[in-house]
Amino acid sequence: MRREQTVHLERLHTNMLELPWYIQEYIDTKEDTASPSTLLGYVHEYKHFLQWLMAEGIAPYEKLADIPYSILEQLRRKDVENYIKHLSRRKKINSDKDLIQNQKLSNSTILRSVSALKSLFHYLTTMTEDNEGEAYFYRNVMAKVEIKKDKETINARANRMRAKILHNDDDRKLLEFVATEYEKLVARTKKEAYFKRDKERDLAILSLFLGSGMRVGELADLQLEKINVNERIVTIIRKGGKEDSIWITPSALADLQEYLKIRKKRYKVSDDEQAVFLTLHNGSFKPMSVRAIQNMVDKYTKAFNVRLTPHKLRHTFATNFYNKEKDALQVMMQLGHSSTDTTVLYTQLGNATLKESLERLDE
């Protein structure tokens, strides 16, 4: 299990204690098949739903754990529709959980909330057994609620995503910007010392995203013993805990090696520490979290005037890789996709492949 998943598992078990026993039972049945991150997301959705029921007077209890499943059994379709309206009007909360931004929840986020509730109600009304061998209850109000997914073709999705990735040689320019220009922006500020300390590390991280296409969680959990310098291969843990080996570009390996030269001394690392990417906190090293890596990428790309996430850097790699090789199977294997369905997207994310094909019809 990846380090981030271990943290999420601990948080999952802590948060579950606030929920009613029948929801805890449902989560327990899913632990062998769903990731801790997914289940933690479910738990947050259920807590928010029960808190809404309490706030609306539908569940007149002081604690979430005291709400019986009879409350869920008695819910009307109008109650659920009102909850979905509540979600559509709810604003995003920042990572510190205290400042509300001026951005509403996306439709996909609302759909995930509804989907989580549908899964819970399906379990309670079909998979459970009481002392008489009957389901806890049979009236499934969530079965009356349709999930209206966004209708979008691959071309439409590609056009939307095209504006959110790096094109041509902008990936190289981003790395050059961090290596030679960013220091000028933070000169004579408190940020300068931190940048100089972390420069090699940050370049290695950006270079690996752009030179391998790995996910942020895979990069955060990268281990020293899993790096094969001679073969230019790193072994990572994919979603679901599956181990996979991928190649990285020569330039990404070069940046990684530059970081490894200074890693032990710069971050005061113990000999047995295997986590590759580290930070210093109160004078002691600790592995970088997914959130820390995301914030680091945001910092540099914002300064570069593009504002990208690690996932968009992954899209950039995949698009560049496909444009070079024109081989969707290679892209699928490198990214760890289970089918070519997702990979097909990258055939249209680059330099307007379909547009160029149509232009050739007039030649």
| Cα distances (angstroms) measured from residue 338 to each of 51, 88, 274, 306, 358 | 37, 32, 29, 30, 30
Give the mean pLDDT of 31-55.
93
**Band of residue 179 on the pLDDT scale cut at 50, 70, 90:** very high
Our CA dihedral for 322, 325, 330, 332, rounded to 10 degrees, sits at 10
β-bridge mates for residue 246, sequence order: 234
Q: Is the pLDDT of residue 43 over 90?
A: yes
Q: What is the pLDDT of residues 63-91, one digit of tens each?
A: 999 999 999 999 999 999 999 999 988 76
The backbone torsions φ and ψ at residue 157, rounded to the nearest 5 degrees and listed phi first, read -65, -40
- Tell me, what CATH number does 128's domain have? 1.10.150
List, as one string, the DSSP characters of 167-211.
-TTHHHHHHHIIIIIHHHHHTTSHHHHHHHHHHHHHHHHHHHHHH
Q: What is the pLDDT of residues 208-255, one digit of tens each?
A: 999 999 999 999 999 999 999 999 999 998 877 788 999 999 999 999
In a domain, 348, yes or no: yes
Nearest-angstrom CA–CA distance, 216 and 99 = 25
Work out how many domains the chain is built from and give that number: 2
Q: Is the pLDDT of residue 358 over 70?
A: no
Q: Is the pLDDT of residue 147 over 90?
A: no
Residues 40 and 176 in one domain: no
Residues 91 and 181 in one domain: no
CB 310 within 8 A of CB 209: yes
Domain range spanning residue 61? 3-151
Rounded to an integer, what is the distance from CA 198 to the centroid of its chain? 24
Provide, rounded to the nearest whole percent, the portion of the chain with pLDDT above 70: 89
Residues 193 and 102 in one domain: no
Q: Is the pLDDT of residue 57 over 70?
A: yes
When computed from its CA atoms, the radius of gyration of the chain, rounded to whole angstroms, is 24
Residues 187 and 315 in one domain: yes
Angle between helices 310-325 and 328-335 (to 10 degrees): 150
Q: How many CB atoms lie within 10 A of CB 351?
A: 11
Q: What is the pLDDT of residues 29-41, one digit of tens each?
A: 999 888 888 899 9
Give the mean pLDDT of 188-202.
96
Q: Is the pLDDT of residue 148 over 80?
A: no
Residues 46 and 183 in one domain: no
Q: Of the candidates 117, 151, 185, which is a domain's last residue? A: 151
Residues 117 and 11 in one domain: yes
**Range from 9-13, 107-111, 159-163 carrying the lowest mean pLDDT:** 159-163
In a domain, 298, yes or no: yes
Give the mean pLDDT of 140-149.
86
The backbone torsions φ and ψ at residue 43, rounded to the nearest 5 degrees and listed phi first, read -60, -45
**Band of residue 154 on the pLDDT scale cut at 50, 70, 90:** low
Per-residue pLDDT at 142: 96
Per-residue pLDDT at 95: 42
CB 212 within 8 A of CB 234: yes
Round to the nearest angstrom and report the end-to-end CA distance of the chain.
54
Q: Select from 192, 172, 50 the least CA-distant residue to 113.
A: 50
Cα dihedral across residues 272, 275, 277, 282: positive or negative: negative
Cα dihedral across residues 137, 138, 144, 145: positive or negative: positive
Predicted model pTM: 0.75
Residue 34 is given by DSSP the state: S
Q: Of the candidates 97, 130, 151, which is a domain's last residue? A: 151
Q: Is the pLDDT of residue 350 over 60?
A: no
Residues 340 and 197 in one domain: yes
Q: Among all residues, which ones are annotated catalytic? A: 215, 239, 311, 314, 337, 346
Residues 201 and 248 in one domain: yes
CB 247 within 8 A of CB 212: yes
Per-residue pLDDT at 328: 84
In a domain, 362, yes or no: no
Mean pLDDT, all residues of the chain: 88
Nearest-angstrom CA–CA distance, 342 and 328 = 10
**Band of residue 7 on the pLDDT scale cut at 50, 70, 90:** confident
Joined tokens for residue 335:
């990214």
Q: What is the pLDDT of residues 292-310, one digit of tens each?
A: 999 999 999 999 999 999 9
Per-residue pLDDT at 100: 46
Nearest-angstrom CA–CA distance, 195 and 202 = 9
Residues 162 and 135 in one domain: no
**Range from 16-25, 51-60, 158-167 carrying the lowest mean pLDDT:** 158-167
Residues 218 and 332 in one domain: yes
Instruction: Indicate the residue type of 1.
Output: M
